[in-house]
Amino acid sequence: MSYCIVSMEGRLPEISCDSTFQWSLAGHIIARFYQTQPQNEAWWPRIGENESELWFISGRLYRSGNFSAVDDKEIVEAVVDDLNGFANRFWGTYFLMVYNKKADCLLVVSEPCGQVPVFYRIGRLGELHVGTSAGAFSKIGGFLQHPNSGYLRSYLCHGSGDPVETGIEGLLHLPAGRALSWDRGHLPTQRRFWFPNLQDYANSVVRDPIEVLSSVLYLALGDEVSIMLELSDGLESSSLAIGLQHSGRNDRTVAVTHFDPYYASSNELNVARSVAKQCGIAHRSCPLLDALPFAPCQTLPVVPQPSPQLCFLAQMRSMADSLGEDALSVVINGHGADALFLAPSPLGASVDALAHLRVLRAASALRDLAILYGWPLTSTLRKAMGALGQSHGGTFAQPFCTDALRFEPGPRPAGACDDLIAGRDLRFKPAKRYQLAVLAATLDETVVDARLLTGRLFLPFLSQPLVELVLSMPPHSLFSAFHNRLSVRQSAYHASALHNLWRRDVGDTTQAALKGIAVHQDHVRATCLNGWCVSEGVIERNGLEKLINRAVLGHAAGLVEIARVFAAEMFLSGLPRGR
């Protein structure tokens, strides 16, 4: 965790914590940095200074072309001279700040695909507070954490809020792909610095997905002594197991499979064990039902906004206790791959193919979509043409049941990639717009890490090389008549010959969630019906109670609404209201 307080005038507030680093200019301290000890020394920050800049860099960066390491001076020079081209030259998992002495300007840059979330706010003396953890703003900065009612209302209605705001009043978020610029005498502003290739497929060098994944794992996990892979029987986690084997990181990895022994659709243990054995990875199992979803949890993390993860806190606590020392490992999983590789396949893919003058593929894509969804060809064509008029801007979640709302839902909030979606080049490419929209929704989910494991979380499929690789592929190449995520399936199968990679069924966690509500219904009722949402007149108590009653009887309709209210209340309960 990194936290920084910057004042170009040198007016820094008194903080009870001792700073780890500081910047000085003309005899005055203009910034103090507070850093928790990372488990991996590679994450210990470096500070430096030359005639023109001061800098703070945490993490590692590599060149995009050959994946070679980059020294700090070259990084700083690239940030100052050509920020718009920075992400084209380098990738990594990093957080950095550069102060340009001549321009009297501060730049804050983070990895553009959401691996290191960044938050900021202005203090009472006009100083800028920047941190990678929402909890640090109260623990170190001393801010009282009050709920942002506008954001919470938006979350209840749409599943998310404005990507710049958070659920905490006054605390702002720097969305993935954007940098923060702060000039003396002005308010901080955001600017996009990551511009991925979205449509120039002819000039793209498309590499093998498993090859890129293996390279990412080799570099990103090179200094890690212990790695924990969350392994199911699915395509994404199996691909990670293959990548760990190819990168030589399998010997320091433990694969953990969470399973529900009472539901065959959720019990992936046998296949996962076979995958781990073939890839040379040690394997452990962790029963999901040791602690059910929606169970009471004594430890509540401070997070920037509500998230469905908060419905599983007791379960995550139980997993952390059962894993013991393995909970200290760097944790990796396949989160984000579904969105990137377009599962389910978008209806507008045939229109994208036609826009690229791929007439035969446009026709075959239409046929493939009709087979995938089981629709008549005419209906599929009508829906595909309908996708042409959809902007796919804004959030992407299921709307809240209006019977339980006590206010008129507003428009969907903007998404983090709306500026890219609105580009003229994507006017006739609805599938590519859809891909960016689901990517934005996925990046919004990564802002919250409510796991109670102490190890660092790394999401390989949301690393910059993998994201840019998939965005450089035409959407119509990512599926066939029977399989989505086709490119990574083929690549993983060619690298391993694992037959489970061609499975089309997916695990089901709905039954476990419904069972959790039934078993812990008193806790769910107390949390949802007696909390902020009802007392503030946001949620209609009787309407919500009816949804809970139905869930107790095993009906899944209303589960989304219950989960959102429960997550909002758990988020609020975790906020420190004072020092």
Domain ranges of the chain: 2-192, 201-339+448-502, 347-398+409-442, 510-574
Residues of the chain with pLDDT under 70: 37-42, 199-206, 261-267, 324-328, 391-397, 402, 452-454, 504-508, 577-579
Q: Which of 38, 5, 221 is nearest to 46 (CA)?
A: 38
Contact 231, 256 (CB under 8 A): yes
Distance in angstroms (rounded) separating the CA atoms of residues 108 and 98: 7
What pLDDT is recorded for position 328? Answer: 63
What pLDDT is recorded for position 505? Answer: 61
Fold (CATH) for 201-339+448-502:
Rossmann fold (3.40.50)
CB atoms within 10 A of CB 252: 16
What pLDDT is recorded for position 322? Answer: 72
Q: What would the pLDDT profile of 103-147 be if each residue is shown by its tens digit? A: 999 999 999 999 999 999 999 999 999 999 999 999 899 898 899
Contact 116, 20 (CB under 8 A): no
Q: What does the DSSP 8-state code read for residue 69?
A: B
Overall pTM surpassing 0.85 (yes/no) = yes
Distance in angstroms (rounded) separating the CA atoms of residues 11 and 127: 7
Give per-residue burial for 334-367: e unless 16+ CB within 10 Å, then b. bbbbbbbbbbebbbbbbbbbbbbebeebbebbbe
* C-alpha dihedral sign at 431, 482, 267, 260: positive
**Top-level class of domain 2-192:** alpha beta
Q: Report the run of H or E that residue 434 belongs to, with start and end.
A: helix 430-446
Query: Position of tokens 């502003």?
Result: 189
Q: What would the pLDDT profile of 491-530 be if each residue is shown by its tens digit? A: 999 999 998 888 766 566 788 899 999 999 999 999 999 9
What pLDDT is recorded for position 578? Answer: 46
What pLDDT is recorded for position 319? Answer: 75
Q: Which residues contact 17 (CB under 8 A, 6 or more apart)?
A: 34, 140
